[in-house]
Amino acid sequence: MTNSLRELLGDLPFTAEIDWMLRSKNRPRKDHFNLDKLQRSLPAAVEVVKPFASRASTTLSTKKKVLFFATLHYWIEQSAYLGLVLAGLGHDVTLLTLPYSEWHKQKDKFTQRQRVLHTKDALASLSPLIKHISMLDLQPSTFNLPTSIQSDIKEVSLWDAQYTLMREEVDMNDPSDRALYDLRIQRNTFAAKTALEYLQSNKPDVVLIPNGLILEMGIVFRVARYLNIDAVAYEFNDQREQIWLAQNSSIMQQETDYLVDARCHLPVTDEMFERVADLENARRGARVWGKSKRLWQYVSSQGADVTRTTLGLDSRPVVMLSANVLGDSLTLGRDIFASSMTEWITKTVQYFAKRTDLQMVIRVHPGEKLVPQAKSMGTVVREALPELPSHIHVIGALDKINTYDLIEIADVGLAYTTTVGLETAMNGRPVISCGQTHYRGRGITIDPNTWDEYYATLDKVLADIPAHQMTEKQIEFAWNYAYRFFFEYPRPFPWRLMNFWDDLEVHPLEKVLSDEGMAQFKDTFDFLVNEPFTWK
């Protein structure tokens, strides 16, 4: 069936439904949007949860009306099981799904209607415990959206385009870029109008949303907050059995004020210090750490002297600029005085091109290896300086140079949002923080807010680097904060998104809901329905 025919049939009543019942329902799905495994697993999962939910209905003192929003098939898979846990704890859970797979492509109406049917079938067995609604079955608000939500749609749609293109420049005169942006405006507008109508009518106590920054997930989050409904967003770091979560702020913005207020006045014990040092040594040694399979470096430390020789560095002071990966949702919306990380790097290297009294080392993030489609920060540097001066060195993602050797060599660090800025401060080097990162404003970085302040800060620091070395108190706080961020900010959680089915075998529902599982994970489930943070 051609796309044009599918589009035509998608406008005709009952065509998708009749085809689904007579022909497509029982065929193996070739569509990328595939919930067959979830559908097979849920009936048994529901039976496991029923007795827990029955007991909780008579004992839970703070039952919450939870609206759980999920789009994309992998988020829907995980949300079904997380929703079951919350139902097993006694909460009233509604799962609102948006069965898209291609957020960056228009899909014909016939296919999209069949995805709705497939999702309903897959989640049908949840009905005793969880109410399932498809957003595509709901009516959007007929009123004009508030001005603030219209602005949110434009902002999030631009981030969506940057995230998809893996570059910060979205050229509205380029037909391809413009089509992507317009599609995201269209879909985010629908999501905003539909969420606004539904939330106003149903008034949940809390809205639970993956990511909460980009795509329709970001829009539903914004609408909930506009209506002053509590919203909890969550995401995953590189460690299994951990989750990041944020209450009434996007988790991707990593707002840690509450963590600092509650924890950073407490002392760092020797055991805590050693745990941070163990993590840092693993990264320095290009080893995996904890329950992660991710390598943060691809070559182990060679030592400062070897690295100096390899790069041909002399006795002039060294400034290290640490870049992020373009398009990572952890970098979106983090601009302060620069319009983008690209602009910041461009103007920074042009400034240092004239500073032959110094040496500059630009560390391209090793993570660029994992997203080869992203525009490399090395490319940004070469576009800014077609003839690279001899005192500026670009370290590519795959170059056999260890970032932690560069930290040891550096006299001054420059960072946008990468945690390398925090780690540089932990090593006592002055760090100029140029993006809205979680460790900025903590007294361990120098924080310009305008271009004039930035250039003045560079001139001042570079004129007398020894005078700007960090104090022992600042270094101690940097280590304290690092412990809190790396080990207390993540919370225990059984199922990481990208290993969901494997993790489910390790932590089946009956284990998670058991006394043993509750001892490990109950606090996190409480935080996910917006119960106040507590600390063990």
> What CATH number is given to the structural domain containing 397?
3.40.50.2000
Pair 111, 249 in one domain: yes
Pair 104, 45 in one domain: yes
The DSSP code sequence of 458-510 is HHHHHH-TGGGPPPHHHHHHHHHHHHIIIIISSEE-S--GGGHHHHHHHS-HH
In a domain, 234, yes or no: yes
298/369 Cα distance (integer angstroms) = 10
Q: Which pLDDT does position 4 carry in this prediction?
A: 59
pLDDT per residue rounded down to tens, the chain (536 residues): 555 555 555 555 556 666 656 566 677 777 778 999 999 999 999 999 999 999 997 677 789 999 999 999 999 999 999 999 999 999 999 999 999 888 998 877 778 888 899 999 999 999 999 999 999 999 998 889 999 999 999 999 999 999 999 888 899 999 999 999 999 999 999 999 999 999 999 999 999 999 999 999 999 999 999 999 999 999 998 899 999 999 999 899 999 999 999 999 999 999 999 999 999 999 989 888 888 877 777 889 999 999 999 999 999 999 999 998 876 677 888 999 999 999 999 999 999 999 999 999 999 988 777 677 778 889 999 999 999 999 999 999 888 999 999 999 999 999 999 999 999 999 999 999 999 999 999 999 999 999 999 999 999 999 999 999 999 999 999 999 999 999 999 999 999 998 899 999 999 999 999 999 999 999 999 999 999 999 87
Pair 307, 243 in one domain: no
- Cα dihedral value 492, 497, 502, 504, nearest 10: 60
535/520 Cα distance (integer angstroms) = 13
Nearest residue to 407 (alpha-carbon basis) of 331, 326, 296, 485: 296
29/118 Cα distance (integer angstroms) = 10
- Cα dihedral value 74, 176, 417, 371, nearest 10: 60
Residue type, 195: A
In a domain, 17, yes or no: no
Phi, psi at residue 490, to the nearest 5°? -70, 145
Q: Which pLDDT does position 74 carry in this prediction?
A: 94
In a domain, 15, yes or no: no
Neighbour count for residue 177 (Cβ, 10 Å): 17
Pair 212, 280 in one domain: no
Q: Which pLDDT does position 368 carry in this prediction?
A: 76
Q: Which pLDDT does position 109 carry in this prediction?
A: 79
In a domain, 31, yes or no: no
Q: Contact 323/363 with Cβ under 8 angstroms?
A: yes
27/259 Cα distance (integer angstroms) = 50
Phi-psi region of 292 (alpha: psi -120 to 50; beta: other; left: phi over 0): beta
Contacts 24+ apart (CB under 8 A), 167-176: 167/326, 167/327, 167/342, 167/374, 167/375, 168/326, 168/340, 168/341, 168/342, 168/375, 169/340, 169/342
341/335 Cα distance (integer angstroms) = 7
Phi, psi at residue 245, to the nearest 5°? -145, 155
61/171 Cα distance (integer angstroms) = 53
Pair 295, 409 in one domain: yes
Q: Which pLDDT does position 346 carry in this prediction?
A: 96
The domain of 126 spans: 38-256+495-528
In a domain, 9, yes or no: no
Pair 238, 275 in one domain: no
Q: Which pLDDT does position 19 carry in this prediction?
A: 64
Residue type, 162: Q
Pair 111, 246 in one domain: yes
Pair 213, 275 in one domain: no
Q: How far is CA 443 from CA 133, 242, 244, 487, in A?
A: 47, 28, 24, 21
Residue type, 95: L
Q: How far is CA 491 from CA 238, 284, 446, 524, 527, in A?
A: 13, 25, 30, 6, 9
Pair 401, 344 in one domain: yes
Pair 399, 508 in one domain: no
Residue type, 302: Q
In a domain, 59, yes or no: yes
Overall number of domains in the chain: 2
In a domain, 16, yes or no: no
Neighbour count for residue 35 (Cβ, 10 Å): 23
Pair 296, 414 in one domain: yes
Pair 246, 290 in one domain: no
Question: Which pTM value belongs to this model?
Answer: 0.92
In a domain, 3, yes or no: no
